[in-house]
Chain A
Protein backbone atom coordinates (compact mmCIF):
# COMPACT_ATOMS: atom_id res chain seq x y z
CA UNK A 1 0.00 0.00 0.00
CA UNK A 2 2.41 2.67 1.18
CA UNK A 3 4.61 2.81 -1.86
CA UNK A 4 7.41 5.24 -1.37
CA UNK A 5 6.97 7.63 -4.25
CA UNK A 6 8.65 10.54 -2.53
CA UNK A 7 11.54 11.71 -4.60
CA UNK A 8 14.89 12.48 -3.06
CA UNK A 9 18.19 10.92 -2.30
CA UNK A 10 18.03 7.70 -0.35
CA UNK A 11 19.65 7.82 3.05
CA UNK A 12 23.08 6.21 2.54
CA UNK A 13 23.10 2.78 4.12
CA UNK A 14 24.58 -0.66 3.80
CA UNK A 15 21.28 -2.37 3.03
CA UNK A 16 19.16 -4.40 5.42
CA UNK A 17 15.80 -3.76 7.01
CA UNK A 18 15.23 0.05 7.03
CA UNK A 19 13.85 0.15 10.55
CA UNK A 20 17.04 -1.40 11.95
CA UNK A 21 19.50 0.97 10.27
CA UNK A 22 21.14 2.64 13.23
CA UNK A 23 22.55 5.49 11.14
CA UNK A 24 18.97 6.78 10.54
CA UNK A 25 18.11 6.91 14.25
CA UNK A 26 19.70 10.27 14.93
CA UNK A 27 17.71 12.10 12.31
CA UNK A 28 14.46 10.37 13.25
CA UNK A 29 14.96 11.12 16.93
CA UNK A 30 15.73 14.78 16.25
CA UNK A 31 12.70 15.34 14.05
CA UNK A 32 10.47 13.25 16.29
CA UNK A 33 11.56 15.40 19.24
CA UNK A 34 10.79 18.57 17.29
CA UNK A 35 7.47 17.33 15.86
CA UNK A 36 6.25 15.70 19.07
CA UNK A 37 7.50 18.64 21.11
CA UNK A 38 5.47 20.95 18.90
CA UNK A 39 2.42 18.73 19.26
CA UNK A 40 2.86 18.58 23.04
CA UNK A 41 3.23 22.36 23.20
CA UNK A 42 0.07 22.87 21.14
CA UNK A 43 -1.74 20.24 23.17
CA UNK A 44 -0.86 21.56 26.62
CA UNK A 45 -1.11 25.27 25.77
CA UNK A 46 -3.95 25.44 23.29
CA UNK A 47 -5.86 22.27 22.47
CA UNK A 48 -6.44 20.72 25.90
CA UNK A 49 -7.31 24.02 27.65
CA UNK A 50 -9.62 25.02 24.84
CA UNK A 51 -11.59 21.78 24.54
CA UNK A 52 -11.49 21.30 28.30
CA UNK A 53 -12.81 24.85 28.66
CA UNK A 54 -15.60 24.22 26.18
CA UNK A 55 -16.66 21.05 27.98
CA UNK A 56 -16.42 22.72 31.38
CA UNK A 57 -18.42 25.72 30.21
CA UNK A 58 -21.05 23.41 28.81
CA UNK A 59 -21.32 21.32 31.94
CA UNK A 60 -21.35 24.53 34.02
CA UNK A 61 -24.08 25.93 31.84
CA UNK A 62 -26.08 22.72 32.08
CA UNK A 63 -25.65 22.69 35.85
CA UNK A 64 -26.70 26.35 36.08
CA UNK A 65 -29.71 25.72 33.86
CA UNK A 66 -30.68 22.73 35.94
CA UNK A 67 -30.34 24.78 39.12
CA UNK A 68 -32.46 27.55 37.62
CA UNK A 69 -35.08 25.02 36.55
CA UNK A 70 -35.00 23.56 40.05
CA UNK A 71 -35.52 26.93 41.73
CA UNK A 72 -38.32 27.78 39.28
CA UNK A 73 -39.96 24.47 40.04
CA UNK A 74 -39.65 25.21 43.76
CA UNK A 75 -41.24 28.61 43.18
CA UNK A 76 -44.04 27.06 41.19
CA UNK A 77 -44.55 24.49 43.93
CA UNK A 78 -44.70 27.25 46.56
CA UNK A 79 -47.19 29.19 44.45
CA UNK A 80 -49.33 26.07 44.06
CA UNK A 81 -49.17 25.42 47.79
CA UNK A 82 -50.20 28.99 48.69
CA UNK A 83 -52.97 28.88 46.10
CA UNK A 84 -54.24 25.65 47.54
CA UNK A 85 -53.99 27.06 51.04
CA UNK A 86 -56.02 30.15 50.17
CA UNK A 87 -58.49 27.98 48.30
CA UNK A 88 -58.92 25.79 51.36
CA UNK A 89 -59.32 28.89 53.56
CA UNK A 90 -61.94 30.33 51.24
CA UNK A 91 -63.76 27.04 51.18
CA UNK A 92 -63.72 26.85 54.98
CA UNK A 93 -64.97 30.44 55.21
CA UNK A 94 -67.76 29.71 52.78
CA UNK A 95 -68.78 26.64 54.71
CA UNK A 96 -68.74 28.56 57.98
CA UNK A 97 -70.90 31.30 56.50
CA UNK A 98 -73.28 28.76 55.03
CA UNK A 99 -73.58 26.92 58.35
CA UNK A 100 -74.19 30.15 60.23
CA UNK A 101 -76.83 31.27 57.79
CA UNK A 102 -78.48 27.90 57.88
CA UNK A 103 -78.55 27.95 61.67
CA UNK A 104 -79.97 31.47 61.67
CA UNK A 105 -82.66 30.59 59.16
CA UNK A 106 -83.50 27.40 60.97
CA UNK A 107 -83.82 29.24 64.28
CA UNK A 108 -86.09 31.92 62.79
CA UNK A 109 -88.37 29.46 61.05
CA UNK A 110 -88.54 27.27 64.15
CA UNK A 111 -89.71 30.09 66.39
CA UNK A 112 -92.17 31.28 63.76
CA UNK A 113 -93.55 27.77 63.43
CA UNK A 114 -93.86 27.41 67.20
CA UNK A 115 -95.73 30.67 67.61
CA UNK A 116 -97.97 29.75 64.71
CA UNK A 117 -98.64 26.35 66.20
CA UNK A 118 -99.42 27.87 69.58
CA UNK A 119 -101.80 30.32 67.96
CA UNK A 120 -103.43 27.58 65.98
CA UNK A 121 -103.79 25.41 69.09
CA UNK A 122 -105.36 28.33 70.98
CA UNK A 123 -107.76 29.00 68.11
CA UNK A 124 -108.60 25.31 67.96
CA UNK A 125 -109.39 25.04 71.66
CA UNK A 126 -111.49 28.23 71.67
CA UNK A 127 -113.36 26.98 68.62
CA UNK A 128 -113.93 23.63 70.30
CA UNK A 129 -115.28 25.39 73.41
CA UNK A 130 -117.66 27.45 71.24
CA UNK A 131 -118.78 24.35 69.42
CA UNK A 132 -119.41 22.53 72.72
CA UNK A 133 -121.34 25.52 74.03
CA UNK A 134 -123.43 25.69 70.90
CA UNK A 135 -123.96 21.96 71.05
CA UNK A 136 -125.15 22.09 74.65
CA UNK A 137 -127.44 25.00 73.80
CA UNK A 138 -128.73 23.14 70.78
CA UNK A 139 -129.31 20.01 72.86
CA UNK A 140 -131.26 22.02 75.43
CA UNK A 141 -133.44 23.47 72.67
CA UNK A 142 -133.98 19.97 71.20
CA UNK A 143 -135.29 18.75 74.58
CA UNK A 144 -137.81 21.60 75.10
CA UNK A 145 -138.97 21.23 71.48
CA UNK A 146 -139.35 17.47 71.98
CA UNK A 147 -141.25 18.03 75.24
CA UNK A 148 -143.58 20.56 73.53
CA UNK A 149 -143.99 18.22 70.56
CA UNK A 150 -144.76 15.31 72.89
CA UNK A 151 -147.37 17.40 74.75
CA UNK A 152 -148.95 18.40 71.42
CA UNK A 153 -148.90 14.81 70.06
CA UNK A 154 -150.35 13.37 73.29
CA UNK A 155 -153.03 16.08 73.46
CA UNK A 156 -154.05 15.48 69.86
CA UNK A 157 -154.04 11.68 70.12
CA UNK A 158 -155.49 11.27 73.58
CA UNK A 159 -157.33 14.51 73.69
CA UNK A 160 -156.16 15.16 77.16
CA UNK A 161 -153.23 16.95 78.68
CA UNK A 162 -150.37 14.72 79.51
CA UNK A 163 -148.72 14.77 82.83
CA UNK A 164 -145.68 17.11 82.44
CA UNK A 165 -143.33 15.02 84.63
CA UNK A 166 -143.99 11.79 82.72
CA UNK A 167 -143.52 13.48 79.31
CA UNK A 168 -140.20 14.96 80.38
CA UNK A 169 -139.08 11.54 81.70
CA UNK A 170 -140.08 9.87 78.42
CA UNK A 171 -138.27 12.51 76.32
CA UNK A 172 -135.12 12.23 78.45
CA UNK A 173 -135.21 8.42 78.05
CA UNK A 174 -135.61 8.78 74.27
CA UNK A 175 -132.80 11.38 74.07
CA UNK A 176 -130.50 9.05 75.96
CA UNK A 177 -130.69 6.48 73.18
Chain B
Protein backbone atom coordinates (compact mmCIF):
# COMPACT_ATOMS: atom_id res chain seq x y z
CA UNK B 1 0.00 0.00 0.00
CA UNK B 2 1.26 3.49 -0.83
CA UNK B 3 2.48 5.47 2.15
CA UNK B 4 -0.36 7.88 3.05
CA UNK B 5 2.20 10.20 4.64
CA UNK B 6 4.32 10.64 1.54
CA UNK B 7 1.98 13.31 0.14
CA UNK B 8 3.09 15.64 2.93
CA UNK B 9 6.82 15.28 2.22
CA UNK B 10 8.65 18.42 1.23
CA UNK B 11 10.73 18.21 -1.90
CA UNK B 12 13.43 20.69 -2.81
CA UNK B 13 12.92 22.26 -6.19
CA UNK B 14 15.65 24.89 -5.79
CA UNK B 15 18.04 24.25 -2.92
CA UNK B 16 19.08 27.34 -0.98
CA UNK B 17 21.23 27.48 2.13
CA UNK B 18 21.77 30.61 4.17
CA UNK B 19 24.34 30.29 6.95
CA UNK B 20 24.04 26.53 6.98
CA UNK B 21 20.25 26.64 7.49
CA UNK B 22 17.98 25.22 4.79
CA UNK B 23 15.80 27.78 3.00
CA UNK B 24 15.33 25.81 -0.22
CA UNK B 25 12.42 26.53 -2.53
CA UNK B 26 10.20 23.48 -2.04
CA UNK B 27 6.98 22.10 -3.50
CA UNK B 28 5.27 23.76 -0.54
CA UNK B 29 6.70 27.15 -1.51
CA UNK B 30 5.63 26.57 -5.10
CA UNK B 31 2.07 25.84 -4.01
CA UNK B 32 2.06 28.92 -1.79
CA UNK B 33 2.87 31.01 -4.83
CA UNK B 34 0.26 29.15 -6.85
CA UNK B 35 -2.33 30.00 -4.19
CA UNK B 36 -1.24 33.64 -4.24
CA UNK B 37 -1.23 33.65 -8.04
CA UNK B 38 -4.71 32.11 -8.28
CA UNK B 39 -6.04 34.57 -5.70
CA UNK B 40 -4.52 37.54 -7.51
CA UNK B 41 -5.75 36.28 -10.88
CA UNK B 42 -9.22 35.62 -9.53
CA UNK B 43 -9.54 39.01 -7.86
CA UNK B 44 -7.51 41.24 -10.18
CA UNK B 45 -8.07 39.92 -13.70
CA UNK B 46 -11.83 39.69 -13.22
CA UNK B 47 -12.10 43.29 -12.06
CA UNK B 48 -9.91 45.04 -14.64
CA UNK B 49 -13.05 46.27 -16.42
CA UNK B 50 -14.38 47.88 -13.21
CA UNK B 51 -17.77 47.35 -14.74
CA UNK B 52 -20.71 49.05 -13.14
CA UNK B 53 -22.80 46.04 -14.06
CA UNK B 54 -20.54 43.09 -13.26
CA UNK B 55 -20.11 40.00 -15.37
CA UNK B 56 -20.10 36.56 -13.81
CA UNK B 57 -16.43 36.50 -12.84
CA UNK B 58 -16.39 40.07 -11.54
CA UNK B 59 -19.54 39.21 -9.63
CA UNK B 60 -17.76 36.25 -8.02
CA UNK B 61 -14.82 38.44 -7.00
CA UNK B 62 -17.23 41.04 -5.60
CA UNK B 63 -19.21 38.38 -3.77
CA UNK B 64 -16.10 37.04 -2.04
CA UNK B 65 -15.09 40.60 -1.14
CA UNK B 66 -18.51 41.38 0.27
CA UNK B 67 -18.72 38.05 2.06
CA UNK B 68 -15.47 38.67 3.94
CA UNK B 69 -16.25 42.36 4.43
CA UNK B 70 -19.60 41.35 5.93
CA UNK B 71 -17.89 38.84 8.21
CA UNK B 72 -15.39 41.45 9.37
CA UNK B 73 -18.08 44.07 10.00
CA UNK B 74 -20.27 41.63 11.86
CA UNK B 75 -17.51 40.29 14.12
CA UNK B 76 -15.33 43.37 14.62
CA UNK B 77 -17.54 46.29 13.63
CA UNK B 78 -16.86 48.94 11.00
CA UNK B 79 -13.49 49.76 12.58
CA UNK B 80 -12.53 46.16 11.89
CA UNK B 81 -12.41 47.09 8.20
CA UNK B 82 -8.87 48.45 8.71
CA UNK B 83 -7.88 44.79 9.03
CA UNK B 84 -9.84 43.84 5.95
CA UNK B 85 -6.79 43.33 3.66
CA UNK B 86 -5.24 41.03 6.27
CA UNK B 87 -8.43 39.03 6.80
CA UNK B 88 -9.19 38.77 3.09
CA UNK B 89 -5.59 37.71 2.41
CA UNK B 90 -5.79 35.03 5.08
CA UNK B 91 -9.13 33.76 3.80
CA UNK B 92 -8.00 33.60 0.19
CA UNK B 93 -4.63 32.08 1.04
CA UNK B 94 -6.15 29.37 3.24
CA UNK B 95 -9.04 28.77 0.85
CA UNK B 96 -6.86 28.30 -2.21
CA UNK B 97 -4.19 26.52 -0.16
CA UNK B 98 -6.88 24.01 0.81
CA UNK B 99 -8.58 23.79 -2.57
CA UNK B 100 -5.41 23.49 -4.64
CA UNK B 101 -4.45 20.64 -2.31
CA UNK B 102 -7.54 18.79 -3.58
CA UNK B 103 -6.04 18.56 -7.07
CA UNK B 104 -4.49 15.10 -7.41
CA UNK B 105 -0.72 15.39 -7.23
CA UNK B 106 -0.80 18.86 -5.71
CA UNK B 107 0.68 19.71 -2.35
CA UNK B 108 -1.52 21.00 0.48
CA UNK B 109 0.22 24.01 1.97
CA UNK B 110 -2.09 24.09 4.99
CA UNK B 111 -1.32 20.48 5.94
CA UNK B 112 1.86 21.71 7.60
CA UNK B 113 1.58 22.91 11.18
CA UNK B 114 4.29 25.52 10.72
CA UNK B 115 2.25 27.28 8.01
CA UNK B 116 -1.02 27.32 9.96
CA UNK B 117 0.85 28.26 13.14
CA UNK B 118 2.59 31.13 11.36
CA UNK B 119 -0.77 32.45 10.12
CA UNK B 120 -2.32 32.06 13.58
CA UNK B 121 0.64 33.81 15.21
CA UNK B 122 0.37 36.59 12.66
CA UNK B 123 -3.24 37.11 13.72
CA UNK B 124 -2.55 36.99 17.44
CA UNK B 125 0.53 39.22 17.13
CA UNK B 126 -1.55 41.72 15.21
CA UNK B 127 -4.17 41.60 17.97
CA UNK B 128 -1.58 42.17 20.72
CA UNK B 129 0.43 44.89 18.95
CA UNK B 130 -2.58 46.79 17.66
CA UNK B 131 -4.42 46.38 20.96
CA UNK B 132 -1.53 47.83 22.98
CA UNK B 133 -0.88 50.57 20.40
CA UNK B 134 -4.49 51.68 20.43
CA UNK B 135 -5.51 51.16 24.04
CA UNK B 136 -2.16 51.13 25.90
CA UNK B 137 -2.35 49.32 29.20
CA UNK B 138 -6.16 49.45 29.08
CA UNK B 139 -5.97 46.68 26.55
CA UNK B 140 -4.98 44.28 29.36
CA UNK B 141 -8.47 44.81 30.79
CA UNK B 142 -9.31 42.10 28.26
CA UNK B 143 -8.02 39.63 30.81
CA UNK B 144 -9.95 41.13 33.72
CA UNK B 145 -13.64 41.37 32.86
CA UNK B 146 -15.36 44.27 34.62
CA UNK B 147 -17.69 43.72 37.56
CA UNK B 148 -15.98 40.68 39.03
CA UNK B 149 -15.53 40.22 42.80
CA UNK B 150 -11.91 40.84 43.84
CA UNK B 151 -11.66 37.39 45.39
CA UNK B 152 -12.02 35.43 42.17
CA UNK B 153 -10.22 37.96 39.98
CA UNK B 154 -6.80 36.24 40.08
CA UNK B 155 -8.36 32.93 39.03
CA UNK B 156 -10.29 34.55 36.19
CA UNK B 157 -7.23 36.46 34.97
CA UNK B 158 -5.24 33.22 34.83
CA UNK B 159 -8.05 31.50 32.94
CA UNK B 160 -8.40 34.43 30.54
CA UNK B 161 -4.67 34.53 29.84
CA UNK B 162 -4.55 30.79 29.20
CA UNK B 163 -7.63 31.03 26.96
CA UNK B 164 -6.02 33.91 25.06
CA UNK B 165 -2.76 32.06 24.59
CA UNK B 166 -4.51 28.88 23.51
CA UNK B 167 -6.24 30.73 20.68
CA UNK B 168 -3.35 30.58 18.20
CA UNK B 169 -2.79 26.95 19.14
CA UNK B 170 -6.38 25.91 18.54
CA UNK B 171 -6.58 28.11 15.44
CA UNK B 172 -3.52 26.50 13.85
CA UNK B 173 -4.18 22.93 15.00
CA UNK B 174 -7.77 22.98 13.76
CA UNK B 175 -6.80 23.83 10.21
CA UNK B 176 -3.70 21.63 10.18
CA UNK B 177 -5.58 18.67 11.69
CA UNK B 178 -8.52 18.91 9.32
CA UNK B 179 -6.35 19.11 6.25
CA UNK B 180 -3.93 16.38 7.29
CA UNK B 181 -6.60 13.97 8.51
CA UNK B 182 -8.75 14.41 5.42
CA UNK B 183 -5.89 13.81 3.03
CA UNK B 184 -4.67 10.77 4.98
CA UNK B 185 -8.20 9.31 5.03
CA UNK B 186 -8.50 9.74 1.26
CA UNK B 187 -5.11 8.16 0.71
CA UNK B 188 -5.87 5.24 3.02
CA UNK B 189 -9.12 4.39 1.22
CA UNK B 190 -7.42 4.78 -2.13
CA UNK B 191 -4.74 2.38 -0.85
CA UNK B 192 -7.47 -0.14 0.09
CA UNK B 193 -8.91 0.04 -3.40
CA UNK B 194 -5.53 -0.52 -5.02
CA UNK B 195 -4.70 -3.42 -2.67
CA UNK B 196 -8.07 -5.11 -3.27
CA UNK B 197 -7.80 -4.84 -7.05
CA UNK B 198 -4.54 -6.73 -6.72
CA UNK B 199 -6.41 -9.62 -5.05
CA UNK B 200 -8.28 -10.78 -8.15
CA UNK B 201 -11.94 -10.74 -9.29
CA UNK B 202 -13.50 -10.71 -5.81
CA UNK B 203 -11.12 -7.97 -4.85
CA UNK B 204 -12.13 -5.87 -7.87
CA UNK B 205 -15.79 -6.21 -6.87
CA UNK B 206 -14.91 -5.37 -3.29
CA UNK B 207 -12.84 -2.37 -4.37
CA UNK B 208 -16.05 -0.54 -5.32
CA UNK B 209 -16.72 0.02 -1.61
CA UNK B 210 -13.60 2.08 -0.90
CA UNK B 211 -14.14 3.83 -4.26
CA UNK B 212 -17.59 4.94 -3.08
CA UNK B 213 -16.02 6.00 0.16
CA UNK B 214 -13.36 8.03 -1.66
CA UNK B 215 -16.04 9.72 -3.76
CA UNK B 216 -18.02 10.67 -0.68
CA UNK B 217 -14.89 11.73 1.18
CA UNK B 218 -13.72 13.87 -1.72
CA UNK B 219 -16.99 15.80 -1.68
CA UNK B 220 -16.69 16.08 2.08
CA UNK B 221 -13.08 17.28 1.80
CA UNK B 222 -14.12 20.07 -0.55
CA UNK B 223 -16.66 21.12 2.06
CA UNK B 224 -13.99 20.95 4.75
CA UNK B 225 -11.55 22.93 2.61
CA UNK B 226 -14.01 25.81 2.25
CA UNK B 227 -15.43 25.53 5.74
CA UNK B 228 -12.05 25.53 7.46
CA UNK B 229 -10.98 28.58 5.49
CA UNK B 230 -14.14 30.29 6.70
CA UNK B 231 -13.68 29.10 10.29
CA UNK B 232 -10.10 30.37 10.32
CA UNK B 233 -11.32 33.70 8.95
CA UNK B 234 -14.23 34.23 11.31
CA UNK B 235 -12.10 33.33 14.33
CA UNK B 236 -9.50 35.80 13.07
CA UNK B 237 -12.23 38.45 12.97
CA UNK B 238 -13.42 37.58 16.47
CA UNK B 239 -9.87 37.82 17.82
CA UNK B 240 -9.25 41.09 16.00
CA UNK B 241 -12.37 42.42 17.69
CA UNK B 242 -10.49 42.05 20.98
CA UNK B 243 -7.78 44.34 19.67
CA UNK B 244 -10.41 46.94 18.77
CA UNK B 245 -12.82 46.57 21.65
CA UNK B 246 -11.18 44.97 24.67
CA UNK B 247 -13.63 44.56 27.49
CA UNK B 248 -16.80 43.97 25.50
CA UNK B 249 -17.09 40.30 25.08
Residues of A within 8 A of B214 (CB): 1
Do residues B24 and A2 form an inter-chain contact, with CB atoms below 8 A?
no
Q: State in angstroms the CA–CA spacing of A11 and B13 once bound together.
A: 10
Do residues A35 and B33 form an inter-chain contact, with CB atoms below 8 A?
yes
Known contacts A4-B11, A4-B107; decide if A11 and B22 are in contact (CB<8 Å).
Answer: yes
Known contacts A4-B6, A11-B12, A27-B24; decide if A39 and B107 are in contact (CB<8 Å).
Answer: no
Residues of A within 8 A of B23 (CB): 26-27, 30-31
Q: Determine how close the nearest CB of chain B comes to the CB of A16; give it in whole angstroms.
A: 9
Q: State in angstroms the CA–CA spacing of A48 and B111 once bound together.
A: 28
Do residues A2 and B28 form an inter-chain contact, with CB atoms below 8 A?
no
Q: Determine how close the nearest CB of chain B comes to the CB of A68; give it in whole angstroms.
A: 15
Q: Determine how close the nearest CB of chain B comes to the CB of A130; give it in whole angstroms.
A: 105
Residues of B within 8 A of A32 (CB): 29, 32, 114-115, 118-119
Do residues A18 and B32 form an inter-chain contact, with CB atoms below 8 A?
no
Mask, A33-50, CB within 8 Å of B = 1, is 101101110111011101
Residues of A within 8 A of B106 (CB): 2
Do residues B114 and A51 form an inter-chain contact, with CB atoms below 8 A?
no
Q: List 12 A-B contacts (CB under 8 A).
A: A1-B183, A2-B107, A3-B187, A6-B105, A24-B22, A24-B112, A29-B114, A31-B28, A36-B93, A43-B92, A47-B43, A54-B50
Q: Is the interface of A mostly helix, strand, loop or mixed?
A: helix
Residues of B within 8 A of A159 (CB): none
Do residues A38 and B36 form an inter-chain contact, with CB atoms below 8 A?
yes
Do residues A28 and B112 form an inter-chain contact, with CB atoms below 8 A?
yes
Q: Could you tell me how many residues of chain B have their Cβ less than 8 Å away from some Cβ of chain A?
A: 72
Q: Chain B: residues with CB nearer than 8 A to chain A?
A: 2, 5-13, 15-16, 21-30, 32-33, 35-36, 39-40, 43-44, 47, 50-52, 54, 58, 61-62, 65-66, 84-86, 88-89, 92-93, 101-108, 111-115, 118-119, 122, 176, 180, 183, 186-187, 190, 214, 218, 221
Q: State in angstroms the CA–CA spacing of A55 and B30 once bound together.
A: 33
Do residues A40 and B11 form an inter-chain contact, with CB atoms below 8 A?
no
Do residues A19 and B113 form an inter-chain contact, with CB atoms below 8 A?
yes
Do residues A4 and B89 form an inter-chain contact, with CB atoms below 8 A?
no
CB nearest neighbor in A for B51: A54
Q: State in angstroms the CA–CA spacing of A19 and B6 once bound together.
A: 11
Q: Determine how close the nearest CB of chain B comes to the CB of A17; give it in whole angstroms.
A: 6
Q: Determine how close the nearest CB of chain B comes to the CB of A54; give it in whole angstroms.
A: 5
Q: State in angstroms the CA–CA spacing of A53 and B61 once bound together.
A: 13
Residues of A within 8 A of B21 (CB): 26
Which 9 pairs of residues, A with B, have the shortest CB-CB distance? A31-B29, A44-B85, A35-B32, A18-B8, A8-B11, A1-B186, A51-B65, A11-B10, A43-B85
Do residues A42 and B40 form an inter-chain contact, with CB atoms below 8 A?
yes
Do residues B47 and A50 form an inter-chain contact, with CB atoms below 8 A?
yes
- Pick from B28, B65, B187: contact of A55, CB below 8 A: B65
